[in-house]
Structure 1
């Protein structure tokens, strides 16, 4: 994607307070990257190289990838993996898959295998402990998968134990209110790509306007056909949100779809954990 349509890479830094976080984990740094859409069109080599350099410069304790490594065919994952191999992290690199990573019959297996080969741990309804037993890392299957099953995973954890959850689609935060989630990391939305300063994500206003146009006319006009129903909670399109007692952070992603981004630059997120 040309930089004029994408905009320059931004670095978001935030501190997240977690109740019952052990003193030994206070100050730990996490880096989140999401929605690469590495297909030769939606993410430039320069942007990807810079994102990796930004992450390595932080010297993170943990790197977390939240899905959509490709757009359709899984084949580009092999070239992307060669680049992601340069990521550095003290406690490892962990990932979940997004809806685009399970498009075809063998997509999930091919993408998982390619990432595993370079040392990226792909979690699919699994719990890992890269920072120790005091802070489990939960990775869920994608919301659109038939195997999305938070009950079986979340019920394995003691309610007194803080945890971080990786889930590509932020809509899952609504479902996950049934459990303790100290920090959910998601992507999927690209931040809405177009943001109206002072008002928020443009999709919210777009949908209100488009729904007033007759359906027959909408079907004849490009972009009006899309009602952006692939996510319900566009109000959670980017940034940190309080969902009941839980915290959700939505990364704007690195890849960009046409017609491009406006006031919504691609993002690398640096998160510092803090005891509450």
Structure 2
């Protein structure tokens, strides 16, 4: 799949460059040389940088990724127009393709400069037959996929988002994994900022696939384990209670479950849902925190868990949610990739992510803070 995608990118790049150069126009030739240099140069820098991921400073790699996307994706947008032009030699098609490529470039640029800091509050009310009446109106705020190492110490930007969280006056705040990109050190200096997150009754968290350090070439297994232990302790330092295949009764008849990461291969499958449910009464109202939404269809729907909260997909940080259209390339891999889904009486909510990873921007799919109000239908 990756090989086919890479081939498509290279074909698109070749088509775009060929048509630019065929004009024999000095300015277009300079533009073509600049574009192809930026694309391949940033790709080489990015690939070399990401070979060494045992670092808390991701700026060079992420910035190279941003240059690669902003220079390469517009060529991909031009590709079909370019092919049609080469077959028909209709000039209008070519210029239409140039317009699409230019629009994509400015959209990506806006996503880098503004989109990654454009937090949106998504508010929903969910009705449940078996929600205890005393929990009617309970407000949950969910955040997910902070990826703090991607923020490059932009403390003021993140503090603005935390003020947005606190303005919601949540009863509980749930964090559904991926605090860091790879290593606990990324959180150093951020503890006072994230400690400001407020909840009336408690804050709970789980781990995501990036929290385990699986994508880092550790010298020793002990060092990797120590990194994970440190990260779990940081969860506690900032006021969250981490749930590692554990369940806790928040109120009489209302249980919160938290599993470790469980995702389809090649992702880690450390979540033990059966173990987590062992001591939870069968007829209790249950909310599950599980990082990867694929867990819902694979295991959760065979239980009577009422609400599952996930993240992981980021909505691929690219897509469209306008005019009744909801689409992102990530939908090709995940059927449930952003927002609310339900199967029978069970609900799944997939948070679009608080931060970003790799590409330092968000285009059309913005960072999310989720406000969920639970309603009892027993009245």
Segments of structure 1 that go 5 or more residues without pairing to the other structure are: 208-231
Contact 1:19 1:162 in 2 (8 A): no
**Is 1:169–2:292 an aligned residue pair?**
yes
**Is 1:69–2:169 an aligned residue pair?**
no
When the two structures are superposed, what TM-score results if normalisation uses the length of structure 1?
0.83
- Tell me, what secondary structure is at the counterpart of 2:184? coil
**Is 1:195–2:319 an aligned residue pair?**
yes
Structure 1's 40 and 19: CA in aligned 2 closer, same or farther, altered over 3 A?
A: same
Other-structure match for 1:127:
247
Aligned equivalent of 2:169, options 59, 67, 70: 59
Contact 1:173 1:243 in 2 (8 A): no
Segments of structure 2 that go 5 or more residues without pairing to the other structure are: 1-61, 63-111, 215-223
Higher relative contact order (CA 8 A, sep 6+): 1
Tell me the alpha carbon deviations over residues 9-43 of structure 1, each in whole angstroms, 9 at most, x when there is no partner: 11111101122111211011111111111114478
The separation in 1 between residues aligned to 2:371 and 2:208, in whole angstroms, is: 21
- Tell me, what secondary structure is at the counterpart of 1:136? strand
Contact 2:147 2:178 in 1 (8 A): yes
**Map 1:15-94 → 2, pairs under 5 A:** 15-41=125-151, 44-94=154-204
Q: How far is 1:122 from its partner?
A: 0.4
Structure 1's 259 and 92: CA in aligned 2 closer, same or farther, altered over 3 A?
A: closer
Q: How far is 1:109 from its partner?
A: 1.0
Tell me the alpha carbon deviations over residues 169-217 of structure 1, each in whole angstroms, 9 at most, x when there is no partner: 1111011111112110101011232123454332157x6xxxxxxxxxx
Contact 1:78 1:114 in 2 (8 A): no
Other-structure match for 1:95:
205
Other-structure match for 1:112:
232
Task: Please say which of residues 132-141 and 196-205 is displaced more in the overlay.
Answer: 196-205
Other-structure match for 2:260:
141
Tell me the alpha carbon deviations over residues 241-276 of structure 1, each in whole angstroms, 9 at most, x when there is no partner: 013431100001111231632211101011111002
| Higher normalized helix content (fraction of residues) | 2
| Higher normalized strand content (fraction of residues) | 1
When the two structures are superposed, what TM-score results if normalisation uses the length of structure 2?
0.61
Other-structure match for 2:307:
183
- Tell me, what secondary structure is at the counterpart of 1:242? strand
The count of corresponding residues between Structure 1 and Structure 2 is 249
- Tell me, what secondary structure is at the counterpart of 1:235? coil
The separation in 1 between residues aligned to 2:244 and 2:360, in whole angstroms, is: 32
The separation in 2 between residues aligned to 1:31 and 1:72, in whole angstroms, is: 25
The separation in 2 between residues aligned to 1:94 and 1:255, in whole angstroms, is: 18
Tell me the alpha carbon deviations over residues 49-101 of structure 1, each in whole angstroms, 9 at most, x when there is no partner: 12211111121100111111110222122333321111111111100010110
Other-structure match for 2:350:
250
**Is 1:13–2:123 an aligned residue pair?**
yes
Task: Please say which of residues 159-168 and 36-45 is displaced more in the overlay.
Answer: 36-45
| Aligned-residue CA RMSD (Å) | 2.1
Task: Please say which of residues 50-59 and 246-255 is displaced more in the overlay.
Answer: 50-59
Rg comparison, structure with higher value: 2
